[in-house]
Amino acid sequence: MSKELLRVTNLKKYYPIKGGFLGQTVNHVKAVDDISFAVNEGETVSIVGESGCGKSTAGRTILRLEEPTAGTVYFDGVDLTTLSNKQLRKTRKNMQIIFQDPFASLNPRQTVAQILQEALHIQNIVPREERKARAIELLETVGLASHQVDRYPHEFSGGQRQRVGIARALSLNPKLIICDEAVSALDVSIRAQILNLLKNLQKDYKLTYLFISHDLGVVRHISDRVIVMYLGRIVEVADKKTLFDHAKHPYTSALLSAIPVPKPGREKKRIVLTGDVPSAIDPPEGCRFHTRCPFAAEKCMEDMPKLRPVPQTAPGHYSACHFFEEIYKD
């Protein structure tokens, strides 16, 4: 059995809303509201959900790019939330992130060589005279040519820029890489190339991925397990096959029904959700999905459902629905 690398427990991230004459805190945006999960070494765990569900905030909070409001994040047995900035810098070389926008995440004033050498300089793990050679090695690892090392980001295509971002993430030989919508800004053909590159790098470097995406087609290709989030909370967790074949939450079912069918003439029943996603400032009482759920009952409006094991499917399948036994009888 693989060793547990990351454990997130009761993680919360609230953003204060200031108001009034004195600029006092009058409310909070509850971007991430009490989520818990674990990731094992060598595993790819995906977090999926609509825009605004809190998945990207969760990823950034885990790395402490955003300071958590509450909860713990254990990485390789160490609670990151208790570390000082100096201690965190040493630990960060084992945790990296690939951002969504491959242009905005690269410094336009630096060459690729300078971008890739920056982390090596900060962490001081490669002698100065060897850093450019390391940058060239990283470029070739992600499928770019050595002669491109002295170019600037604007001289690359979007897919090439994202390869540079991946090379930067690899530069410190991390254990965990958080991919924050890493392929959503790319063309479909380039997207497939980048996904295959990530899978190959995972095998070669024994990487662990936390993959954040709204695209379930992409998630199906790359994931081992999937976490579904809605309005700051986790509503379902399962291995990839179980989730796609035997979803046990109405929100997950609606997301799956929106995946395009690649076979012409084959019809697929679409589950259309009515209404808008409620505000994270004032989320609904009870189940947060009840305002859009076709199966909502009075209990859903009063009691917050907890993640419960789904006994009739594979181990590790959990659903936060009061009535999944009745809704999914088959």
Percent of the chain, pLDDT > 90? 73
* Sheet bearing 24-40, strands edge to edge: 24-40, 4-19, 70-75, 78-79
Domain ranges of the chain: 4-19+27-94+174-327, 109-172
Distance CA 113, CA 150 (A): 6
* Residue of 91, 106, 118 lying closest to 175 (CA atoms): 91
Residue-wise pLDDT for 310-326, tens only, equals: 988 889 999 999 999 99
Residue 265 has pLDDT above 80, yes or no: no
Q: Which residue has the higher pLDDT, 47 or 265?
A: 47
Q: Is the pLDDT of residue 272 over 90?
A: no
Overall average pLDDT of the 124-149 stretch? 93
**Architecture of the 4-19+27-94+174-327 domain:** 3-Layer(aba) Sandwich (3.40)
Tokens at residue 274, please?
């009515």
Q: What are phi and psi of 125, to 5 degrees?
A: -110, -5
d(CA 43, CA 164): 23
Which string of DSSP letters, residue by residue, matches 42-69?
Answer: T-EEEEE-STTSSHHHHHHHHTTSS--S
pLDDT number for residue 102: 82
| pTM (two decimals) | 0.93
Put residue 23 in one of left, alpha, beta given phi > 0 → left and psi -120 to 50 → alpha: left
- Burial environment of residue 308 by CB neighbours within 10 A (0 to 12, 13 to 18, 19 or more): middle
| Local confidence band at 141 (pLDDT 50, 70, 90 cut-offs) | very high
Which single residue is written with the structure tokens 């569900």? 53
- Say if residue 22's pLDDT is above 90: no
Q: Are 320 and 293 in contact (CB under 8 A)?
A: no
- DSSP secondary structure letter of residue 323: T
Q: Please name which of 51, 49, 53, 71 lies closest in space to residue 62, comparing C-alpha atoms.
A: 71
Distance of alpha carbon 201 from alpha carbon 141, whole angstroms? 9
